[in-house]
Amino acid sequence: MPNTDRDATIPHDVLIIGGGLVGASLAIALDTLGLDVGLVEATPAGALPAVFDQRNLSFAEATVNAHDALGVMPLLRAPTGRIQRIHISRAGDFGRIRLEASAHGRDEFGRVVVARDFGEALEARLASLQHLTRYRPARFNGLGDECDGLRLVRIADADGEREIATRLLVAADGSRSSVREALGIRAREHDYGQTLLVARLRTQRPPDGTAYERLTAHGPTALLPRGDGHYGLVHGVARDDADAVAVMDDAAFLARVQDAFGWRAGRFVSVGPRSVYPIIGSVADALVTSRAVLVGNAAQSLHPLGAQGFNLGLRDALTLAECIAAQPGDAGDDALLRRYAARRTDDRTRTLAFSDGLAKLTSNDAALLRPLRSAGLLAGDAMGWLQGWLVGGAMGYRGDVPALCRRAAA
């Protein structure tokens, strides 16, 4: 069970602010090292963070492997959807990209997991940890002085404000990170002017393992094959149209999505409740500072095109855990944090460039770009080396990949 009676005068080895997808995964990974870890969570016991809603998470194979090894995947109660092929096209352009897992010696590229089910599995796994202290509900209130190799952190809970000492502070508190701001690390934001509507969709034909991405000037329309016989729908619209689209009745909304997507998956039959998410990207100017590190959306928040965000954030967390395991003693050591930042540079830079570049290129409707995009789609469908590069990225094998991502649980 999580440690609830630890001596409050003893500093944590690691204090994580944020109990969402990445923060919780990091806490699980660190528990195997026997470290004294604290997790500051905004939600009370018995509740899940808002991120664990009905949206659909596209797990790359590397992410599935890691969560198998961490003991989370076996705790999922809802069936997952296998991504066995990927189909990418753009409205108004010739060509398409078709990726088939079997052509690359794989059974699948990854899995589609319902966020709420994943949150419940993470919660069950957190409840089994031996070295974790959970502060919940609690919020980050600021930083105290740094002294004697420790970070002093102020949090507030039902008993008022308290100060906690830690050798390493981890910001896993999202794209508008309060910890990042308190550390004085700036972030560059980009508003894509798009909003995503997310829902469960039933079509005339059940999913066959194909994940579709249909690109338009106003954002992507994606269909992800869920394990329950439905698709997970992601429909991008121009920000100015979002309110009107969100309140459409089901028939009008289905007609709109069918028009944007086409008939590749058959006729759209029904749609569930819709959730709305504005797309705003952010990139922190630095990943580390003295006795502190940023992971997940606190470090970078991506355009969802290509479904790279959580997969990238998990690799942040697992790389940090690997660096700490390789240098036991002081989790906040400067040399350790520099090594972490260096290891994350290639994967982070390439994934950010791919996601942002693709989002901007596909949303630009200039006539001169259409033949270039069409040529790119045709090349991606025909050239083996380019397909291999796309497959490697889609499966989470880009740059310096943590060991847990490369193998399933023993």
262-285 pLDDT per residue, tens:
898 999 999 999 989 888 888 999
DSSP state of 174: -
pLDDT of residue 369: 33
CA-based diameter of the chain, in Å?
66
pLDDT of residue 218: 78
Encode pLDDT of 363-399 as tens digits. Answer: 434 443 333 333 343 333 433 434 344 555 667 777 7
Cβ–Cβ under 8 Å, residues 75 and 119: no
- For residue 164, what are its two tokens? 């906690």
Other beta carbons within 10 angstroms of residue 127's beta carbon come to: 12
Cβ–Cβ under 8 Å, residues 54 and 148: no
The amino acid occupying position 209 is G
Is residue 250 classed as helix, strand or coil in its secondary structure? Answer: helix
Tell me the average pLDDT across 337-356: 86
Encode pLDDT of 36-56 as tens digits. Answer: 999 999 999 888 888 888 788
Could you say which of 2.90.10.10, 3.50.50.60, 2.170.190.11, 3.40.50.620 is the CATH number of the domain covering 12-80+112-189+282-365+401-406? Answer: 3.50.50.60
Distance of alpha carbon 50 from alpha carbon 64, whole angstroms:
22
Q: Which residue has the higher pLDDT, 113 or 399?
A: 113
Lowest mean pLDDT among 102-111, 231-240, 340-349: 102-111
pLDDT of residue 387: 39
Distance of alpha carbon 198 from alpha carbon 191, whole angstroms:
19
Position 184 confidence tier, pLDDT thresholds 50, 70, 90 = very high
Distance of alpha carbon 212 from alpha carbon 159, whole angstroms:
49
Lowest mean pLDDT among 122-136, 187-201, 328-342, 358-372: 358-372
Phi, psi values for residue 140, rounded to 5°: -75, 130
> Residue ranges per domain, the chain?
12-80+112-189+282-365+401-406
What is the residue-averaged pLDDT of the chain? Answer: 85
pLDDT of residue 94: 44
Distance of alpha carbon 46 from alpha carbon 52, whole angstroms:
13
Could you tell me the pTM of the whole model? 0.88
pLDDT of residue 10: 87
